[in-house]
Amino acid sequence: FLLLFFRFGRRFESPLLWQSIIMIITMLLMLKLCTEVRVSNELNIKRRSFAAADSKDEEIKAPPKRSYLDFDLNYFWHWSKFTDYVQCVLTFTGVTGYITYLWLDSSLFVETLGFLAVFTEAMLGVPQLYRNYQNRSTEGMSVKMVLMWTSGDTFKTVYFILNQAPFQFSICGLLQVFVDIAILLQVYLYSSYPQKPASHPAHPASTKAL
Residue type, 200: H
Q: Which CATH number fits domain 106-193: 3.50.50.60, 3.40.50.170, 4.10.110.10, 1.20.1280.290?
A: 1.20.1280.290
How far apart, in whole angstroms, are the C-alpha atoms of residue 200 and residue 203? 9
Q: What is the largest CA-CA distance in the chain?
A: 57
Residue type, 38: R
Tens digits of residue pLDDT in 95-143: 998 998 899 889 899 889 888 888 888 888 898 899 999 988 888 787 7
Tens digits of residue pLDDT in 3-62: 888 888 777 777 778 888 888 898 889 888 888 888 777 665 556 666 654 444 444 444
* Geometric angle at alpha carbon 167, from 173 and 176, rounded to 5°: 10
How far apart, in whole angstroms, are the C-alpha atoms of residue 119 and residue 114? 8
What residues does each domain of the chain span?
1-48+81-105, 106-193
How far apart, in whole angstroms, are the C-alpha atoms of residue 143 and residue 149? 10
Residue 177 exposed, middle or buried by CB count within 10 Å (0-12, 13-18, 19+): buried
Dihedral sign computed on CA atoms, order 46, 47, 51, 57: negative
Neighbouring residues of 178: CB distance < 8 A, sequence distance ≥ 6: none
